Chain A
Amino acid sequence: MTANRGRWAAWAFLAPVTGYLLAFYAWPLYRNLDLSLREYTVRSFVQGDAPFAGLGNYTKIFGDPTFGPALLHTVVFTGASLLCQFAIGMALAVFFAQHFRLSATLRGLFLVPWLLPLIVSASTWSWMLNSDSGIVNAALGAVGVDPVNWLTSPQWSLTSVIIANVWIGIPFNLVVLYSGLQAIPPEINEAAALDGAGGWQRFWRVTFPLLRPVSAITLLLGLVYTLKVFDIIWIMTRGGPTDASTTFATWSYRLSFGNLLPAFGPGAAVGNLLIVMAFVSGLIYIRIQRRQAA
């Protein structure tokens, strides 16, 4: 009797969080999957009678000429952003760990990109990189370098959005890695120094290995954030010119909402590919974590 009541109470306590998870996570994911497996036209979207299309939308996007470039750009954008954000964030974290005067103030300044709304930072970058009236080309001109069409040439547009994204991502890496550094007992470094290890050696042999768990979670979270970056690219280049800076995130948006005639099915299919990519990276992370723990 009491055991039974206890079980009911347990379910009652679980109900709100389960309901929340179902309503806000499971249901949208299911809807997105359902959307990607049906042949939607505007008419069937409204009537709700879209025929089941199996993997039709997926074969359509795999065969689309945009697929190859979008995949490549997604990988390059994510890889280059992560690498640069992490490397610069780590360098700054080690730098600020020295506790010199003004270090707290300077560290605070580095958080600014994080605090600005994305539309503000993206519009500002877009203005600075403008071919004709941008400050970057004006600066290049002052030192005698020919102007670069940052946002409007197929060779440069992906690089430009990566630069902006790295700038926005540095604070996150800095903050997490800095707090990771604080957790390393200073005695270990002192001991290594007494044993004759130089600064470079101490970083690679002591600090870096001890930071590995923090680095792994920073990279995983960074990966998830970067895979789905949409606003910066959309505001700066609309994924263009042609498809030169299109990633899966902007392509998915363009299919679903960027045209007078929305293509919800293929749009949802591209979105699901992103989810799968993030999911796979999550599994790899867990695998690495297990191996470290073992």
Chain B
Amino acid sequence: MHTSGKRWRTAGAVLLTVALTGGTGACSSSDDAPSAEAGGAYTIWDPYPQFDGTSAWATLLAKCGTDSGVTVERTGYDTSDLTNKALLAAQQGNSPDVLIVDNPVISTLAEAGVLTTTEENKLDTSAMAANLLGAGQSGGKTYGVPIGANTLALYYNKKVLADAGVDIASVKDWPSLTAALAKVKAAGKKGITFSAIGTEEGSFQFLPWYWGSGAQLTALDSPQAVSALTLWTDWLKRGYAPNSVINNTQTTSWQEFATGDYAFAENGTWQLGNAAKAGFDYGIIAVPGSSGGTAPAPTGGEFVSIPVQKSTARYATSAKLVSCLTSTDNLLATDTTLSYIAPTADVQAKQVAENAALKVWVDAVNAAKGRTGDNLGTKYPKISEPLWTAVQAALSGSKSPQEALTAAQTTAAAATK
């Protein structure tokens, strides 16, 4: 009895060991998504969990459903969960009827065969700005409609700049920006904060400088690319930017700017609400290119798409829902709620008419580029990861900008071969 008891305990210990570590990487194959067969009910997934059932957004969805003669069942997911949720749902054959996702995810889902093209679902995309639509196109096909866009620009603290004797009109290119940062530092304040964290967020923040140097994502080790990374690295070395940027998310970077000690912060349209609450006078300029002009910033914001269904008859109603959401009147309301810039010139004009301060953002959005555009599609994630790794390596001082980007180009070239 004694021996057998011990054997069981032995087996138990091994099983326990295995069970406790077992979770890593395992993939659940069940999902509680509503079935697509539910009669008269159309499911919509969006990445706006901050809006509850009584919000203007939920009301708009319900109204669009009623107008199309169906009921709408809406679920809001955290944006970082939504890609995997959508992939799993497609694997199980119960994708939602309408899916609203972050724009760089569109090419991944299209690659997976999850989304219908505009040829299949008959959506009209003619009014949409071409630079925004680009993120949803690959191989000559369009997989969704932008619902709104945001992008990056430079917020500045008027008082900090005035105290340092910097005229914001003098900041036109990289040398004048660096000169302004030097003056701010000499006046005892802090220069600029941004987010260089080792995730997609870090690449997103670096891209305006990267593209502003004239570099292309297909050649990470070009001299222009090196000049962009050198700009950031030198700011850190000289103390114009804090060392914490290496770990900053865009939210923690904003918190640094909100202390009122920083002259500049690179951040997005979505911070406008917080900027008004910051308690100091702020202004916004577009991210400058290396030798002047506006640097193309990457577009943020979501696309509305129609996932593939077993019953293709559903597409007609889904398309009605999408057209309703992206109609001129509704876009204005939605993009105001989301603090986004509209994807059509008409609605952009209305937004500027309502709030002249949005002009700088409209210009920035019009100069912006999709990350997955230029026909990169699903190659982009394989380029972006080496890129953010290189930024981290250079900023933390473990490699020079040139070494870091050469290594990144080798990795990216091998991954996209």
How far is it, in angstroms, between the C-alpha of A41 and the C-alpha of B381 when the chains are bound?
13
Please tell me which one of the listed residues B14, B26, B244, B378 contacts residue A282 in the complex, with CB atoms under 8 A apart. B14
Interfacial chain A residues near B28, Cβ < 8 Å: 28
Smallest distance from the beta carbon of A31 to chain B beta carbons, Å? 6
**Can you list 8 A-B contacts with CB-CB less than 8 angstroms, sorted by A residue number?**
A25-B18, A43-B112, A46-B91, A152-B246, A153-B396, A154-B396, A154-B397, A258-B199
Interfacial chain A residues near B108, Cβ < 8 Å: 42, 260-261
Smallest distance from the beta carbon of B86 to chain A beta carbons, Å? 9
Measured CB to CB, the residues of B under 8 A from A are 6, 10, 13-29, 83-84, 87, 90-91, 104-105, 108-109, 111-114, 197-200, 242-244, 246-247, 256, 378, 380-382, 384-385, 389, 392-393, 395-398
Complex: chain A residue closest to B255, CB-CB: A133
Smallest distance from the beta carbon of A126 to chain B beta carbons, Å? 8
Complex: chain B residue closest to A267, CB-CB: B25
Q: A293 to B247, Cβ gap below 8 A?
A: no
A32-B27, A35-B27, A43-B112 known; A282+B396 contact, CB < 8 A: no
Instruction: Give the contact stretch, choosing among A88-96, A108-116, A223-231.
Output: A223-231
Complex: chain A residue closest to B392, CB-CB: A241
Please tell me which one of the listed residues B15, B112, B244 contacts residue A46 in the complex, with CB atoms under 8 A apart. B112
Interfacial chain A residues near B83, Cβ < 8 Å: 260, 262
Interfacial chain B residues near A283, Cβ < 8 Å: 14
Interfacial chain A residues near B111, Cβ < 8 Å: 41-43
**A270: CB under 8 A from chain B?**
yes
Sort A-B residue pairs by CB-CB distance and give the 6 closest, nearest first.
A271-B25, A282-B17, A241-B396, A271-B24, A261-B381, A42-B112
Smallest distance from the beta carbon of B7 to chain A beta carbons, Å? 10
A35-B27, A237-B247 known; A275+B13 contact, CB < 8 A: no
Measured CB to CB, the residues of A under 8 A from B are 25, 28-29, 31-32, 35-36, 41-43, 45-48, 126, 130-133, 149, 151-154, 220, 224-225, 227-228, 230, 237-244, 249, 252-253, 256-262, 264, 267-268, 270-272, 274-275, 277-279, 281-283, 285-286, 289, 293
Of B24, B90, B247, which is in contact with the most chain A CB atoms at under 10 Å from its CB?
A: B24
Smallest distance from the beta carbon of B92 to chain A beta carbons, Å? 9
How far is it, in angstroms, between the C-alpha of A126 and the C-alpha of B19 when the chains are bound?
30
Q: B84 to A242, Cβ gap below 8 A?
A: no
Interfacial chain B residues near A278, Cβ < 8 Å: 17-18, 20-21
Interfacial chain B residues near A274, Cβ < 8 Å: 21, 24
How far is it, in angstroms, between the C-alpha of A152 and the C-alpha of B28 when the chains are bound?
34
Smallest distance from the beta carbon of B239 to chain A beta carbons, Å? 10
How far is it, in angstroms, between the C-alpha of A28 and the C-alpha of B23 when the chains are bound?
8
Smallest distance from the beta carbon of A262 to chain B beta carbons, Å? 7
Smallest distance from the beta carbon of B259 to chain A beta carbons, Å? 8
Smallest distance from the beta carbon of B61 to chain A beta carbons, Å? 26
Q: A225 to B244, Cβ gap below 8 A?
A: no
Q: A279 to B396, Cβ gap below 8 A?
A: no
A240-B246, A279-B17, A282-B13 known; A42+B396 contact, CB < 8 A: no
Q: A279 to B18, Cβ gap below 8 A?
A: yes
Smallest distance from the beta carbon of A22 to chain B beta carbons, Å? 13
How far is it, in angstroms, between the C-alpha of A227 and the C-alpha of B18 when the chains are bound?
12
Interfacial chain A residues near B197, Cβ < 8 Å: 238, 240
Interfacial chain B residues near A227, Cβ < 8 Å: 21
Interfacial chain B residues near A282, Cβ < 8 Å: 13-14, 16-18
Q: B393 to A131, Cβ gap below 8 A?
A: no
How far is it, in angstroms, between the C-alpha of A257 and the C-alpha of B88 when the chains are bound?
13
Q: A130 to B392, Cβ gap below 8 A?
A: no
Smallest distance from the beta carbon of B136 to chain A beta carbons, Å? 14
How far is it, in angstroms, between the C-alpha of A261 and the C-alpha of B83 when the chains are bound?
9
Smallest distance from the beta carbon of A42 to chain B beta carbons, Å? 4
How far is it, in angstroms, between the C-alpha of A94 and the C-alpha of B395 when the chains are bound?
46
Smallest distance from the beta carbon of B388 to chain A beta carbons, Å? 9
Q: B114 to A46, Cβ gap below 8 A?
A: yes
Smallest distance from the beta carbon of B251 to chain A beta carbons, Å? 12
How far is it, in angstroms, between the C-alpha of A279 and the C-alpha of B20 when the chains are bound?
10
A25-B15, A260-B380 known; A249+B24 contact, CB < 8 A: yes
Q: B105 to A132, Cβ gap below 8 A?
A: no
Q: A149 to B200, Cβ gap below 8 A?
A: no
Please tell me which one of the listed residues B14, B104, B244 contacts residue A279 in the complex, with CB atoms under 8 A apart. B14
Interfacial chain A residues near B395, Cβ < 8 Å: 152, 241
A154-B396, A278-B17 known; A270+B246 contact, CB < 8 A: no
Q: B112 to A31, Cβ gap below 8 A?
A: no
Interfacial chain B residues near A261, Cβ < 8 Å: 108, 378, 381-382
How far is it, in angstroms, between the C-alpha of A32 and the C-alpha of B24 when the chains are bound?
9
Interfacial chain A residues near B385, Cβ < 8 Å: 259
Interfacial chain B residues near A132, Cβ < 8 Å: 242-244, 256
Q: B25 to A45, Cβ gap below 8 A?
A: no
How far is it, in angstroms, between the C-alpha of A36 and the C-alpha of B25 when the chains are bound?
9
Complex: chain A residue closest to B14, CB-CB: A282
A31-B27, A242-B389 known; A149+B243 contact, CB < 8 A: yes
Q: A260 to B384, Cβ gap below 8 A?
A: yes
Complex: chain B residue closest to A289, CB-CB: B10
How far is it, in angstroms, between the C-alpha of A130 and the C-alpha of B256 when the chains are bound?
12
Of B197, B380, B398, which is in contact with the most chain A CB atoms at under 10 Å from its CB?
A: B398
Complex: chain B residue closest to A271, CB-CB: B25
Q: Beyond the given A131-B242, A261-B378, please list 16 additional residue pairs across the A-B interface where CB-CB is below 8 A.
A: A25-B22, A31-B27, A45-B87, A45-B112, A240-B197, A240-B198, A240-B392, A241-B395, A252-B24, A252-B25, A259-B381, A260-B380, A271-B26, A281-B17, A285-B13, A289-B10
How far is it, in angstroms, between the C-alpha of A274 and the C-alpha of B19 when the chains are bound?
12
Q: A130 to B244, Cβ gap below 8 A?
A: yes
Q: A152 to B198, Cβ gap below 8 A?
A: no
Q: A242 to B26, Cβ gap below 8 A?
A: no
Please tell me which one of the listed residues B21, B26, B396 contacts residue A31 in the complex, with CB atoms under 8 A apart. B26
